[in-house]
Amino acid sequence: MVTIGNIQLPEFPLLLAPMEDVSDPPFRAVCKDNGADMMYTEFISSEGLIRDAIKSRKKLDIFEYERPVGIQIFGGDEESLSMAAKIVEVTNPDLLDINFGCPVKKVALKGAGAGVLKDIDLMVRLTSAVVKSTSLPVTVKTRLGWDDNNKNIEEVAERLQDVGIKALAIHGRTRTQMYKGEADWTLIGKVKNNPRIKIPIFGNGDIDSPEKALEYKNRYGVDGVMIGRAAIGYPWIFNEIKNFIQKGEHLPAPTIEDRVAVCRKHLYKSVEWKNPVVGVNEMRRHYANYLKGLPNIKEYRNKLVTLKSVEEIDEVLNEIQQVYAGYTFEKTPIELVNYHEKCPVN
């Protein structure tokens, strides 16, 4: 069993990564249904919360069925992060996570997200300020370092543990790498196996199959893994990994009925949480991922991204289910979806 503050997670938990414009409550709902052990909100600007920005406040929405769930904030100012932590605590999440990992320019070059990796003393001060401002367990998500010449995650892990964080998630790339190349888990393993480190260490980056999850569990000894892009349009990955680790067997690939049912639930939740117009519009980014692998699906996909009512979309989903009834999906490697410019995996 893995413990984060007062949160009890199963042995080797699977965490849904915070992803901007992706991991909202509708998406989190279908991931929870399919085996995610803990999830996080999209990252939220501390300045936005303090200014009472509507979009930032909306991201604080969490629901009982999601628990345990963490709210993730970012910022580069001690006072702002402290105030944001107090605002977050009122919404009663299970934990508060600080984003020191987002690599995009609009965040990192303004001294927040992965930008803080250039100043470890500042990172420690920011983290300490948050820990002192809340009774919630505080965790951190970060990267190996700013660039290949500054991979300082081993120092970061020790110092952040010393100021009171309860867990650390590490993405196996530097800020300058963005999402290019393969994630390097060697330093993640070194952090985990450092005898000074007592808090849970979660690895993140390129986990796209049950085999890889098991291999990295055994090779690097991490306490659990955090999955981001591989869950977009494929929330089944959580239960597939669990089954493979526990039994050494693959679950059958989700059928067309499974895919349509989950896609439909995601749509309904999206409309319910946002409103019919925004919910329908924002769901458009997900259809291609749910229907990936179906032959000659382009025409249906084009329809889905132009329709404006839930009823019309329902009709097309029903037609897809009928047309592809009995279609056998092959077990192929999951393609990691990229929305890099919007910092999906922070």
Distance (Å, whole) CA 135 – CA 19: 25
Find out whether 149 and 161 touch, Cβ atoms under 8 Å: no
Residue with token string 């009122």: 90
Contacts of 61 (CB under 8 A, 6+ apart): 25, 273
Pairing of strands 69-74, 95-100: parallel
Known catalytic membership, residue 102: yes
Active site positions, annotated: 102
